Structures are given as C-alpha cells and as structure tokens.
Amino acid sequence: MSDEAIGMLMQHIRRLEDEINAIRYERHQHQPQPQGKTAEPIVTQRLQSSVQALGSSSQEELTQALLHQLSNMGVLQPLLADETINDILINRHNSIYVERRGKLVKTDVTFPSDGEVMDIAEKIVAAIGRQINPNRPLVDARLLDGSRVNIIAPPLAVDGTSIAIRKFSKRSITLDMMVEQQNISKQLAEILKIMGKCRLNIIISGGTGSGKTTLLNAVSNFIEDDERVVTIEDAAELRLQQPHVVRLETKPMTFNNHGVREEEVSMRDLVKNALRMRPDRIIVGECRGSEAFDMMQAMNTGHEGSLTTIHANHPRDCLSRLENMVGMANLGLPMRSIRQQVASAINVIVQISRMRDGMRRITYVSEIIGMEGDTITMQDLFAYNFTGEEADGRLKGEFKWSGIMPRFMRRAAYYGELEHLAQTLNVRIPKF
C-alpha cells in the first residue's frame, strides 16, 4: 500500500469511527463477542463504500487495513490474546504491567505517547456508547468480549492516562476445573454444588483480584434452566449459561455531545427495578453501597438463591461491611434491626483469597446461624489450613471440614440433595 493511500485512509478513519462504534454498540451490547470479532457484514459494507470513494485500485487491501485499525487494540493486542494474563495495568504510556499466574510483571510493551493511550481509552468507551467527560475523566467500561475496564485520565491521573483491564476468560471456569487447579478440594466443590442447587443466599467475599466473579460464575452453573435470573452489574461480565437470563448494567451520569446532562442509573435503581421483573433469583455482581439494603430485602421476600460479592478480608469483616452499606441507605434503622435483616437474609459466606504464591483459594465457608443478643452468629463449615511451602514456593495446605453439620440440611432434604450431602461429608444423616 502506498504512503499516499495510507494517508488518505487515515483521513477517513476518524470520520468512520463514530458511525462504526455506534454499530458495534447496537450489535454487541446484549451479546458481547470475543475481541477482534467485529468485522461483521454491515461494518464491512460501510467500510467498502467509503474506501471506494478513495479511487484506489487496492480497495480490498484498504478495507482490511481499516478494519484492523478500528477493531485492533494496537500494542495491547498481544497482551489481550495471551491466555496466561489476567490483568493489564497501564500506569502511563511507557509503564505497562500484567498479572500472570497471580504475580505482577512489568512488560516491554509501550505506547509512543500518552495521546496514543488516550486514543485507545476513547475507542473502548465509544464502543459501549460512553465517553470520557473532561470534567470527570474516570469511566468504568468493558471490552466487547466482556473484559472489565477502568479508565482515569489527566488531570486526575497525574502521570498520564491510566487504564486497568480485567480480562474476561474465554473459557468458563467450573467448580470441577477449580478442583483440578487446587483452588478448592473435591469435597468443598460438592458442598458448593449442593448450596447452589438448594437455593441458598450466598455472599462471595474477597479482596481485589481474588477471583470473586469467577467463583460466582462457577456456582451459578447449578441454577436450574427453568429459573428466571436477573443479573445487575456496573460492567456486564457475568457469563451465565442458563437460557432465561436478563442482564442489567448501570449507567453513569454523563453529558452528551450537546452538553445536556444524562442522568445516572445506579445499582440501587436497578435492584429496585429487578424486584418488579418477576425474578426467581437476583445476582448482583458486586454490592458496594446502599443497594445492599434492597438486596437484603429481595433475599428476605422470596428471591431465594440470590448471589452477590463483597470486598472483605474475612467472613466477619464481610458482615461488618454489609451492615455499613445497609446503613448508607439512610433509613435511620437501628443497628439491631439491620443485623436481624442480615442474619435472616444470608445463609452462607464464601471467603476467597489470593495468597502470596499467586494461587486463589477458598479460605472459609461460613454459615450464618442467627442472632445472640445484638451479635450475628456464624459457624465455619470449611477452612483452609496452611501447613507449609513447596520448594517451588507454592503453599501447602488442606481444605478441612470442621465436623459441624450444616444447618441447611432440611433445605437439602427439600431439594432432594440430602443423600448427596451425606455422601460428601461421609456421614449418616437421618431422613427428615
């Protein structure tokens, strides 16, 4: 391709990007496709008609080059394609880190300038119908394959535009696969399957990057196909396999091209709306604010088997965070009333951690018992006991059952899982 043709091509790129991003948004917002799979017939036709206006004899070559420019993520493409990478962290144009097998590693990949980083950021948000507002230059977004993206630009990011990409796995991780990877034991995997089938209300607790969403996806595999599920997320990344799923996504407050303010649709707004959608289960990608109150209300009013995640380092810390978030609804409820709501709504807290060897492991499975005075009581059904370290630095330990019989036995009997539970724990359980 000649330099003159390339120059003419680049002049057309900016003019076409808005139109093609609108097509991407319309075609993919409900059914995200793997990154790089955006050259659909309608897009190709638009590109070919524009390329014909150039009068070039190599129209096909120009079309393919333009498709590559618009759908490719530039220097990030090899990192996005690398299945061993979980996170891509751009601190500035010449400082890019990745998380590989639980460890952060600096890469040799760089952008020519911060302007190139900003171009990628604008392309990402435009593909889902959003924009980077100069007055508030921070955005949560996602790639077309579902990978989660956070962008923060100057002047808030002092050293240049920063992008954090949490890659969306191209394969669905199941509990059986987690057993093979030694994230959990076989016995614990069977207990989690039983919990999913028995429609327990479960909170998955863990720190940043601990694998909460992955575990949530794995547990959700045991939701029956005839159940109506509504998912609510800031950036849609859950991958449920059931046929009857409605996916909702929050919308930040933005200003359109005419400077008109577009109102925010918050997580709490969507949880309230979901209650009117006749769901069997509600799955909230992450509770982080006042929506926790509405989530507790849903769990207490017939939406059994609901799931959510919370940032916390221990099951007891998870309860404290949940109490604080319910208090953020500013309803003036006394603390005892809040704790009673929590104790009644939640059945199990599953704690997952990323340990110092980079491995994600479930460290606790704690069952909520009820209230004693003003305190929520719980019992640990399973815990991970650290026993040492291998020569290669991998931690050794065991996922140990505490010997305490779970209180959800009657529910297991109701859902036909009592025998499965007895076999898993290797005990005899009387029939109810």
The residue among 31, 57, 72 that closes a domain is: 72
| Whether residue 304 sits in one domain with residue 379 | yes
Residue 298, domain member (yes or no) = yes
Q: Is 101 left (phi over 0), alpha (psi -120 to 50) or beta?
A: left
Q: Are residues 250 and 360 in the same domain?
A: yes
- Can you tell me the distance from the alpha carbon of 24 to that of 40, in angstroms, rounded to the nearest whole number? 9
Here the tokens at position 388 are 């040492």
Q: Are 160 and 185 in a shared domain?
A: no
In a domain, 67, yes or no: yes
Give the span between the Cα atoms of 104 and 90, in whole angstroms: 12
Q: Is 138 exposed, middle or buried (0-12, 13-18, 19+ CB in 10 A)?
A: middle
Helices (H), 29-58: 41-52
User: Could you tell me if 225 and 276 are in contact, meaning their C-beta atoms sit under 8 angstroms apart?
Assistant: no
Q: Does a structural domain hold residue 431? A: no
358 token code pair: 């980079």
Q: Do 203 and 129 belong together in one domain? A: no
DSSP 314-328: SHHHHHHHHHHHHHT
Position 310: which residue type?
I
- Residue 432 in any domain: the answer is no
CATH code of the domain in which 128 resides: 3.30.450.370
List all residues 6 or more positions away from 272 whose beta carbon is below 8 Å from its beta carbon: 294
Are 162 and 189 contained in the same domain? no
Which residue, of 117, 135, 169, is where some domain finishes? 169
Looking at the structure, do residues 311 and 409 belong to the same domain, yes or no? Answer: yes
Looking at the domain assignment, is residue 317 inside a domain? Answer: yes
Strand order in the sheet with 202-206: 245-249, 229-233, 281-284, 307-311, 202-206, 348-354, 360-372, 375-389, 395-401
Q: Which of 390, 310, 415 is nearest to 352 (CA)?
A: 310
Contacts of 351 (CB under 8 A, 6+ apart): 205, 206, 312, 314, 315, 318, 362, 363, 364, 365, 366
Q: Examine the domain organization and report whether 207 and 259 are in the same domain.
A: yes
Same domain for 296 and 207? yes
162 and 199 belong to one structural domain: no
Residue 158 lies in a domain: yes
Phi/psi for 405 (5° steps) reads: -75, 135
The per-residue pLDDT string of the chain (432 residues; one tens digit each, 9 = 90 and over) reads: 555 555 555 555 555 555 555 555 555 555 544 444 444 455 556 555 655 655 544 555 555 555 545 555 778 888 988 888 989 999 999 999 999 888 899 999 999 899 989 989 988 888 877 788 888 888 888 887 778 899 999 999 999 999 999 887 777 789 999 999 999 999 999 999 999 999 999 999 999 888 898 999 999 999 999 999 999 988 777 888 889 999 998 887 766 666 667 788 989 999 999 989 999 999 998 888 889 998 888 888 888 999 999 999 999 999 999 999 998 888 888 999 999 999 999 999 999 999 988 899 999 999 999 999 999 999 999 999 999 988 888 899 999 999 999 999 999 999 999 999 999 999 987 776
Residues 67 and 79 in one domain: no
Domain count, the chain: 3
**Residue 398 located in a structural domain:** yes
**Do the domain assignments include residue 68?**
yes
| Per-residue tokens: 169 | 């796995």
364 and 218 in a common domain: yes
322 and 181 in a common domain = yes
Q: End of a domain among 148, 169, 190? A: 169
Q: Which of 287, 282, 254 is nearest to 268 (CA)?
A: 287
Q: What's the residue count for the chain? A: 432
Tokens of 69: 């420019």
**CATH at residue 270:** 3.40.50.300
Domain hosting residue 4, numbered range: 1-72
Report the predicted TM-score, pTM, of the whole model to 2 decimal places.
Answer: 0.77
